């Protein structure tokens, strides 16, 4: 077997088998690894690592770095990144395919295999989109994973250096992402007629939240977290409310934002007063009898709008796989149809890509109040977009067919 090297031990934490581990310091570098099936296997690996360190020190050779090592460095370098949890999730998906590879060995074929294994086919027209049921990912999520890999490879080729001043990767390259044409579900704003049917099918607390979303454009997480301490009443605007949202609750977390309440959103807010000391939108089970007695439970914050009550209501209203985020698309579409200026729309939707002019001379408060008030009520067919005109026509045809079918069933019953 030859002379035994120090730094090789039996692994006391191994669950099965006589596994060995390496833990050795060599010229100021720590060499560690576990899971070797024999002493000889561990020593062979250790000898290779020592030889590599010698080559690096004597000849300036670039050290070997795997993608797993690069992923760990990326996470350690960005402990306060907003999307850190998302990065960890994405790394877990891709590491089985490229984690063991040296950075220079990674190629498009490895990513193509990942895509083949995980790509979820887009839903057919009218079909409900199943999320996470089979472990597969949407095309958009797969592109996020590929983008993260490209970010790591880019930093390895331009920023990260070894002790001998060589870069982790000798060349910069990018892996191809998916073409999202035909893969992504298009936005699905709702008609005013559809809104009436949806509200009728929702429980009261979700009715309030839905009305607030379609009149303010806020995301699900913001409306669920909305707090009374963020409210500012403005006497000069008829005592209307605005809500100052801390950047911790804004997507991207770059700066604080403002919610402007029109008359409908304000009525919803005033209706919710007094229910909870902290949160605006809350829920409790009400009594089904003995109504004069106090409710059995206290009001509680709502974690998400996309719950079973929402999913049941959208089915009842015949709206397929309507997403809560579609309420935001509805608000944006109605602003556009009302002729609101692009700068105001961007400000109300908290879009980060506003023009430099908007940055220095953004829309004034009165302009924003006037803009949101334009979508408080259905203006009729004065200025419908092409998408909404088609959608409205399809809705009326379906409604007419449903009424005809109901009439046939009723006449059949009368005949019997």
User: What is the CATH classification number for the domain harbouring 269?
Assistant: 1.10.443.10
Look up tokens 């579900």; give the residue: 185
Same-domain check for residues 240 and 334: yes
CA distance 129 to 110: 27
Is the domain of 125 the same as that of 144? yes
Same domain (yes/no): 327, 237: yes
**Residue numbers of the chain with a pLDDT score lower than 50:** 1-2, 126-130, 356-357, 359-360
The reply to whether 351 and 209 lie within a common domain is: yes
Tens-digit pLDDT profile for residues 296-353: 788 999 999 999 999 999 999 999 989 999 999 999 999 999 999 998 999 999 987 6
In this structure, is the dihedral angle defined by the CA atoms of residues 357, 362, 366 and 371, taken in order, positive or negative? positive
Does 175 map to a domain? no
pLDDT at 378: 85
Domain assignment present for residue 168? The answer is no
Q: Are residues 200 and 318 in the same domain?
A: yes
Total tally of structural domains belonging to the chain? 4
CA distance 345 to 348: 5
Residues 327 and 227 in one domain: yes
DSSP 137: B
212 and 133 in a common domain? no
Does residue 332 sit within a domain?
Answer: yes
Residue 250 maps to a domain: yes
pLDDT at residue 240 in the model? 92
pLDDT tens for residues 341-371?
998 999 999 987 655 445 445 578 889 999 9
- C-alpha to C-alpha distances, 33 to 13, 19, 92, nearest whole angstrom: 13, 11, 20
- Do 272 and 408 lie in one domain? The reply is no
Domain that holds residue 367: 192-381
* Domain final position from 42, 59, 76: 59
- Model-wide pTM > 0.85: no
187 inside domain: no
What's the number of CA atoms in the CB half-sphere (13 Å) around residue 223? 29
Quick one: 229 and 268 in the same domain?
yes
| Amino acid 411: pLDDT | 56
Please write the tens of the pLDDT for every residue from 152-163. Answer: 999 999 999 877
In a domain, 30, yes or no: yes
φ/ψ of residue 410, rounded to 5: -65, -45
Residue 173 lies inside a defined structural domain of this protein = no
112 and 53 share a domain? Answer: no
pLDDT of residue 397: 74
- 321 shares a domain with 244: yes
The answer for residues whose C-beta is within 8 angstroms of residue 271's C-beta and 6 or more apart is 208
Asked whether residue 27 is assigned to any structural domain, the reply reads yes
209, burial (CB in 10 Å: exposed 0-12, middle 13-18, buried 19+): buried
On whether both 233 and 373 belong to a single domain, the answer is yes
């Amino acid at each position: 077997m030859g002379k035994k090297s120090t730094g090789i031990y039996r692994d006391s934490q191994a669950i099965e088998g006589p596994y060995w581990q390496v833990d050795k310091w060599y010229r100021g570098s720590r060499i560690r690894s576990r899971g070797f099936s024999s002493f000889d296997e561990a020593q062979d690996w250790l000898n290779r690592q020592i030889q590599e360190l010698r080559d690096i020190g004597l000849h300036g050779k670039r050290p070997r770095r795997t993608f797993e090592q690069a992923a760990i460095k990326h996470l350690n370098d960005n402990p306060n990144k907003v999307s850190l949890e998302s990065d960890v999730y994405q790394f877990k998906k891709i590491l089985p395919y490229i984690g063991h590879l040296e950075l220079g060995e990674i190629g498009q074929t490895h990513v193509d295999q990942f895509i083949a294994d995980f790509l979820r086919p887009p839903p057919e027209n009218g079909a409900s989109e199943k999320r996470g049921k089979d472990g597969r990912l949407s095309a958009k999520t797969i592109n996020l994973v590929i983008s993260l890999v490209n970010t790591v490879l880019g930093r390895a080729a331009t920023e990260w250096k070894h002790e001998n001043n060589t870069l982790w990767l000798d060349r910069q390259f990018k892996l191809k992402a998916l073409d999202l044409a035909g893969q992504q579900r298009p936005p699905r704003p709702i008609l005013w007629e559809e809104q009436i049917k949806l509200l009728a099918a929702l429980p009261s607390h979700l009715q309030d939240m839905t009305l607030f979303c379609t009149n303010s454009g806020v995301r699900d997480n913001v409306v669920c977290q909305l707090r009374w301490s963020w409210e500012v009443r403005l006497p000069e605007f008829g005592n209307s409310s605005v809500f100052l949202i801390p950047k911790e609750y804004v997507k991207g977390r770059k700066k604080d934002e403002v919610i402007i309440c029109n008359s409908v959103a304000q009525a919803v807010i005033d209706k919710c007063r007094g229910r909870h000391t902290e949160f605006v939108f809350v829920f409790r089970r009400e009594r089904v009898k003995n109504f004069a007695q106090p409710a059995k439970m206290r009001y509680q914050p709502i974690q998400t709008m996309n719950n079973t009550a929402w999913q049941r209501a959208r089915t009842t209203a015949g709206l397929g796989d309507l997403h809560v985020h579609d309420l935001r698309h509805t608000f944006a579409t109605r602003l556009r149809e009302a002729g609101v200026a692009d700068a105001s729309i961007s400000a109300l939707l908290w879009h980060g890509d506003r023009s430099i002019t908007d940055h220095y001379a953004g829309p004034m408060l009165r302009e924003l109040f006037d803009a949101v008030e334009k979508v408080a009520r259905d203006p009729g067919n004065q200025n419908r977009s092409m998408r909404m005109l088609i959608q409205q026509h399809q809705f009326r045809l379906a409604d007419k067919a449903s009424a005809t079918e109901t009439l046939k069933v009723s006449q059949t019953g009368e005949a019997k």
